[in-house]
Amino acid sequence: MTGDADGATREIARWTATVAEAPLPADVADAARRLVVDYLAATVVGATFPVAATVRRHVLDAYPGSQATIVGEGLASAAGAAIANGTAAHALELDDGYTPGASHPSSSTLPAVLALAEQERSEPARTLAAVAVAVEVACRVAAAAHPATWRRGFHNTPLAGVFGAAAGCSVLLRLSAEDVASALGLAGSHAGGLSEFLRHGSPVKRLHAGMAARDGLLSALLAAEGLAGPPTVLEGPEGYFAAFAQNDWDPDVLLGGLGSRWAMRRTSVKPYPCCRHVHGAVDAVLKLRADHDLRPETVTAVEVGTYSVAARYDGTDAGTMLGAQMSMPYTIAAALCDGELGLAQFSAERRAAPDVTRLMVAVHVSADKDFDRLYPAQRPAAVRIRRDGAPDLRLRVDQPYGEPSNPLDDDALDAKFRTLCTPVLGPARSEEVLRAARAFTDLAPLTHGLGSLGGPA
């Protein structure tokens, strides 16, 4: 659909400016707390990896201050904490997603919201409203122009995330509707992010979420100081949708049911640390392996049919961690060999293991036009495993585990948090942070309480 909704930016701004005037609906508040739990799980473990450490070193040099906490590294300015924590959240492909927008809304928005909340000493209720608004706006902007933006080589996570970060921070700053529109207008000049990393396994992808968080925060702060941005930045003739989607966007996806039909309630949680587009095929492979006591050495070929967006992830270069995480052949091979797909399966040793590399080149991925008609409402994948001296095994998955219609429930989400955070924080601190995120009545354990990692065993 070609979109031309007049006043779209101002409509989002008016809504954003009034959300915190009343308590969030109970289901929205619960969803927002779940977003925080999942975000913190990804951020705490992500902070221990090299790409996050590289960005932290830069932040400590370039963003001095004591306004907000860098997870694992003390204090910096709020903008510095936002870029550092956003990079950590996106560092391991463990952050949440929004299927209609092919984006990661929380890692590009929550670092900004929590950093500014710490700086401003915001009350928990307003901060939770800011979380909900930030993710809502990021989801809607991404979905309104997907897949048009994706087809043009843009990475929707930072592209849309910067608007969500600006909106969420505007809630914390109590900006008027006019000033929120300016914050969004300023954020539009920061929108960006290219998908060329897919061809090279470049860790710049990890930085995208942090950049969006930092720039959205900056946009809100500048708007609060009176700097005006164009209030038609989304829908204008030279605005976001014109520039990034050539005006191929849907106004109803952007604006329909705003404030009553919450997109942020339909985000997905990742059970595996890899690209969400490969999860359906991985689900199928793991189930076939378990149900049929499948021995990987008997597998001669794996055939995967899926929607075109997912079929793009058919590379077999697992030389980098990101390359392996973005590879359907690699993730399927590792899952077949090990019967699981966690961080251990993406180590340098496992990526080079002969049993995995043998199977990786035996995986063949193709696009299915029938599945294209189902995406993004579904993420279908059909897997056929050919074996030596045994019948073929087949399974189709329409919605991977973690989607709203096939969710990780609260117990499973808490288990994910503990699995990732306990080795880093220790059992006692891990439980303290989890309880604080679930209650969301005290922000201290979620902000400066994470300035150092480690803890008693």
- Please give the average per-residue pLDDT across 418-440, as a whole number: 97
pLDDT tens-digit profile of 190-248?
Answer: 999 999 998 888 999 999 999 999 999 999 999 999 999 999 999 999 999 999 999 99
List pLDDT tens digits, range 81-128. Answer: 999 999 999 999 999 999 999 999 999 999 999 999 999 999 999 999
The reported pLDDT for the residue numbered 53 is: 97
Indicate the pLDDT class of residue 3, thresholds 50, 70 and 90.
low
pLDDT in tens, 238-259: 999 999 999 999 999 999 999 9
Average pLDDT over residues 435-448: 96
Q: For position 168, what pLDDT does the model report?
A: 99
Q: What is the 3-state secondary structure (H, E, C) of the chain?
A: CECCCCCHHHHHHHHHHHHHHCCCCHHHHHHHHHHHHHHHHHHHHHCCCHHHHHHHHHHHHHCCCCCEEECCCEEECHHHHHHHHHHHHCCCCCCCEEHHHCECCCCCCHHHHHHHHHHHCCCHHHHHHHHHHHHHHHHHHHHHCCCHHHHCCECHHHHHHHHHHHHHHHHHCCCCHHHHHHHHHHHHCCCCCEHHHHHCCCCHHHHHHHHHHHHHHHHHHHHHCCCCCCCCCCCCCCCHHHHHHCCECCHHHHHCCCCCCCHHHHCECCCCCCCHHHHHHHHHHHHHHHHCCCCHHHEEEEEEEECHHHHCCCCCCCCCHHHHHCCHHHHHHHHHHHCCCCHHHHCHHHHCCHHHHHHHCCEEEEECHHHHCCCCCCCCEEEEEEECCEEEEEEEECCCCCECCECCCHHHHHHHHHHHHHHHHCHHHHHHHHHHHHHCCCCHHHCHHHCCCCCCC
Average pLDDT over the chain, rounded to whole? 97
Q: What's the CATH number for 8-266?
A: 1.10.4100.10
Give the pLDDT confidence of 257-303 residue by residue, as tens digits.
999 999 999 999 999 999 999 999 999 999 999 999 999 999 999 99
For the entire predicted model, the pTM comes to: 0.96
Domain parsing of the chain, residue ranges: 8-266, 276-397
The percentage of the chain sitting over the pLDDT mark of 70, rounded to a whole number, equals: 98
**117 backbone φψ class: left, alpha, beta (φ>0; ψ -120 to 50):** alpha
Q: Does domain 276-397 have CATH number 3.30.1330.120?
A: yes
Q: What is the pLDDT of residues 148-157, one digit of tens each?
A: 999 999 999 9
